[in-house]
A and B are shown apart, each in its own frame.
Chain A
Amino acid sequence: MSSHIEPAGHPLLAEVNPVAIPRQELVHHGRDFHWITEKVCGIVEAKTPVWWWWCFGVAAFVASFTVAGLIYLVGTGVGVWGHANPVNWAWDIVNFVFWIGIGHAGTLISAILCLLRQKWRTSINRASEAMTIFAVVCAGIFPVFHVGRVWMAWYLFPIPNANYIWQNFRSPLEWDVFAVSTYGTVSVLFWYVGLLPDLGTMRDRFTAAGNLLKARLYGFFAMGWRGSNRHWANYEMAYLILAGVATPLVLSVHTIVSFDFAVSLIPGWHTTIFPPYFVAGAIFSGFGMVMTLMLPLRAIYRLEDLITQYHIDCMCKITLATGTMVGYAYAMEFFIAWYGANPYEGFAFINRAFGHYAWAYWIMITCNVITPQFFWSRRVRENTTLVWILSIFVNVGMWFERFVIIVTSLARDFLPSSWGYYSPSIVEIFTFFGTFGVFSVLFLLFIRFVPIMPMSEVKAVIPQADPHGTGH
């Protein structure tokens, strides 16, 4: 390729002679179609590695904490968590918002970046979407089980019934039900549609290897995928439509989650900045979790040729951008509290930074505002271990953000006589800890049984996919 663009007829271009910026290579070492197929399918086809069993065992054990905690909760009452009047929402809603926030990166990567034709999404989108779905599963546990009578939680859904249950559509909690369930449904559909060609590949490979049981299983889920021209045309269109449907959802879900707080009257909740601030935070935390998961995966399965430094750079930069937006929102909350001259709001924010929960606030600031600033440095971005550690700080910081928002506002509302202090119970801590086990169990099953990268999409971004060599 020449290093300069051809003048393309325009005299001005000949005069200026702009430098062509070479496109970043998305697959290193000139890996070809066959290598990619072998690499991705090989992970599923290989014998289950020993580390996988260890991880699975530990994850399943940790997940059992959630199961036991929830059984105890249902049997005994929500009081087994640290809630009490007046702090009647605490870790339950914190954990819900935390997990649902993590679920944002997957759909952002697969839908918005697809529409924006960001080709670096290809090698990470499958795993991030899986992460999204599993995070939504974990998120769903908390709002369902935090209600006092979990056997009546189905009242939230407009199911045809003989009881004349009719939901209150003015309640932000009800909007939440729709936002989250829609998001979950569309994410699963999007993920599954994207999986079809790869499931077809797995079926064919297992058929060739003579493993008929697995061939049947993958064949069932491949829904008769044969890779015909018509299949591909329908597939591409379906994928594009789903990307279009999912794109507004990325923005709407956390907007609506933020309405739970923004629509109420409590100082520190009742602010208009919440929707954009929550969405930026969600994408921030989502990318944090994507990096936490993908970097070890990349190292274990030697995927450096497919998840290149360029991919890590891109993710770091998005984390930096959204983290800075979140930092801006923190500053703006203070500014508006002062500028708006509402004494209650002013107090709410001063109290966050210097009150009883100041420790949580400063953990949040450190992790969410300072941590991402390291990503300005190329040297940091190229140090995978450091990136991984920083990504964990992002996860911690975003959990504390939700804790600060929810607990400080409820613990210190309008009347000092209504103030309280909240601390979690052991049951609550273990239930939350266990959701990491639930998440890990699901993710480990995913990497064991599902191709972790969309082979066809990765193949489409290597030079061999472009026989005319025009680069377009």
Chain B
Amino acid sequence: MSLPETLPPPPDKTSDSAMSRRNFLRGSAAFAGLSALAASLSPLRELGDFSSSEEFMQKYYKEMTPDDMKRALARITREVEHQYGIRPHVRDLRPMDGVEFVYALNLTRCIGCRKCVHACVAENNQSRNPEIQYIRVLKMPHGSLDVEKGDHNYTPKSVPEPGFFYMPVQCQQCVNPPCVKVCPVNATWQESDGITVIDYDWCIGCRYCEAACPYWARRFNFAKPEIPPERLNPDMAYLGNRPRKMGVMEKCHFCIQRTRAGRYPACLEVCPVGARKFGNILDPESEISYILRTKRVFIQLKEEMGTNPRFFYYFDK
């Protein structure tokens, strides 16, 4: 086979010299794609709630030495001051020996005024927008104790409404807490004084604890929490009311920043009718021991679940 004398002429390129239609379309497609990518990345600019590198490198709460804790508290102080312009007083309060906290609520006295709900929000630095509340007050008709009839969306002109009684529900601080069992990273645990706590620096936000809780006691920060700086409570505890970040779980912790320092929970102090009682059940002389011994203690909420709450409901007579 012999090669042809001359090679065939190259295809006419003149029409492609500047920019062919194909190249133009390719270029436009690439440009559109890159612009779309850039546009889609823009929400990341809003994200101010990443963990700081210091928080990221922090040890697990139970493994922290006193020095580690001092550094962690200093970091939290700095962060809060930076964000809210208020220098907080952050402490790491440990459980006391010989103390097991329980709560008792007098259903005869409660008038459903929801002062506890708001005192709790003011004390515990919950997000105000959307507002997160730890306590829900159920309104129930007289004559039965059927929580199935409980309604937490009542809006009367004044309370108590005739024919109804009220039952506030918050974290029941179970002896056998289902939420602790399911946390995949041990970010929540029960302390020796019976309070189930959450380390907000450790929570990854999977929300399994909330799905596991039969009381709907846990609340998740689906959005970035917003607290007006003038509303911030500067008296904070590491496992208690320090400000949370987006994407972490929170719940009632019996006002750890108060109760471990010898004060009553905020919801108790604000209660205008003295329906709320709190104390150390291991002390036989305490008011709470007296109530549980002598009053008609009616229910632990959903006791058939085997969670064994440390939150009791009782009647005067």
B230 contacts the other chain (Cβ, under 8 Å)?
A: no
Q: Which of B40, B44, B150, B223 meets A415, CB within 8 Å?
A: B150
- Nearest CB of chain A from residue B31's CB, rounded to whole Å: 15
Residues of A within 8 A of B208 (CB): 171-173, 260
Residues of A within 8 A of B148 (CB): 415-416
- With A147-B247, A417-B152 in contact, is A162–B57 under 8 Å at CB? yes
Most chain A CB atoms below 10 A, which of B221, B247, B249: B247
A-B pair count, CB < 8 Å, reads 166
B41 A71 Cβ-Cβ under 8 A: yes
Q: How far is the CA of A76 from the CA of B85 in the complex (A)?
A: 24
Q: How far is the CA of A280 from the CA of B221 in the complex (A)?
A: 36
In the complex, residue of chain B having the shortest beta-carbon distance to the beta carbon of A93: B211
Q: How far is the CA of A165 from the CA of B211 in the complex (A)?
A: 23
B220 contacts the other chain (Cβ, under 8 Å)?
A: yes
B214 A77 Cβ-Cβ under 8 A: no
Specify the main secondary structure of chain B where it touches its partner.
loop
Q: How far is the CA of A72 from the CA of B45 in the complex (A)?
A: 10
Residues of A within 8 A of B46 (CB): 75-76
Residues of B within 8 A of A263 (CB): 182
Query: What size tier do the contact residues of chain A reach?
Result: 35 or more
Q: How far is the CA of A232 from the CA of B151 in the complex (A)?
A: 70
Residues of B within 8 A of A264 (CB): 178, 182, 211-212
Residues of B within 8 A of A72 (CB): 40, 43
Please provide the chain B residues from 151 to 170 with a CB less than 8 Å away from any CB of chain A in the complex. Answer: 151-152, 169
B205 A68 Cβ-Cβ under 8 A: no
Q: How far is the CA of A156 from the CA of B224 in the complex (A)?
A: 23
Q: How far is the CA of A153 from the CA of B184 in the complex (A)?
A: 10
B47 A265 Cβ-Cβ under 8 A: no
In the complex, residue of chain A having the shortest beta-carbon distance to the beta carbon of B245: A149
A148 B203 Cβ-Cβ under 8 A: yes
A166 contacts the other chain (Cβ, under 8 Å)?
A: yes
Please provide the chain A residues from 404 to 418 with a CB less than 8 Å away from any CB of chain B in the complex. Answer: 410, 413-418
- Residue tally, chain B, CB below 8 Å to A: 57
Q: How far is the CA of A415 from the CA of B138 in the complex (A)?
A: 10
Q: Which of A32-40, A82-90, A221-229, A450-458 has 4 or more CB atoms under 8 Å from chain B? A: A82-90
- Nearest CB of chain A from residue B305's CB, rounded to whole Å: 6
A163 contacts the other chain (Cβ, under 8 Å)?
A: yes
B289 contacts the other chain (Cβ, under 8 Å)?
A: no
Please provide the chain A residues from 149 to 184 with a CB less than 8 Å away from any CB of chain B in the complex. Answer: 149, 151-153, 155-156, 162-168, 170-174, 177
Q: How far is the CA of A76 from the CA of B45 in the complex (A)?
A: 9
In the complex, residue of chain A having the shortest beta-carbon distance to the beta carbon of B60: A164
A74 contacts the other chain (Cβ, under 8 Å)?
A: yes
In the complex, residue of chain A having the shortest beta-carbon distance to the beta carbon of B302: A414
Residues of B within 8 A of A415 (CB): 138, 147-148, 150, 169, 215-216, 302
B210 A265 Cβ-Cβ under 8 A: no
Q: Which of A74, A155, A163 meets B47, CB within 8 Å?
A: A74
Binding site for B on A (CB under 8 A): 64, 67-68, 71-72, 74-79, 83-86, 88-89, 143, 146-149, 151-153, 155-156, 162-168, 170-174, 177, 260, 263-266, 410, 413-418
- With A148-B221, A166-B60 in contact, is A413–B184 under 8 Å at CB? no
B295 contacts the other chain (Cβ, under 8 Å)?
A: no
In the complex, residue of chain B having the shortest beta-carbon distance to the beta carbon of A69: B40
A148 B220 Cβ-Cβ under 8 A: yes
Residues of B within 8 A of A147 (CB): 204-207, 247
In the complex, residue of chain A having the shortest beta-carbon distance to the beta carbon of B137: A417
- With A72-B40, A74-B47, A155-B204 in contact, is A168–B60 under 8 Å at CB? no
- With A78-B247, A79-B223, A417-B136 in contact, is A151–B51 under 8 Å at CB? yes
- With A77-B223, A415-B150 in contact, is A163–B216 under 8 Å at CB? no
- Nearest CB of chain B from residue A117's CB, rounded to whole Å: 40
- With A265-B212, A410-B211 in contact, is A417–B222 under 8 Å at CB? no
Residues of A within 8 A of B178 (CB): 264-265
A71 B40 Cβ-Cβ under 8 A: yes
B7 contacts the other chain (Cβ, under 8 Å)?
A: no
B60 A156 Cβ-Cβ under 8 A: no
- Nearest CB of chain B from residue A65's CB, rounded to whole Å: 10
B58 contacts the other chain (Cβ, under 8 Å)?
A: yes
- With A164-B59, A265-B212, A415-B148 in contact, is A67–B40 under 8 Å at CB? yes
Given A148-B221, A149-B248, 7 new contacts (CB under 8 A): A71-B40, A85-B219, A147-B204, A162-B57, A260-B208, A264-B212, A410-B211
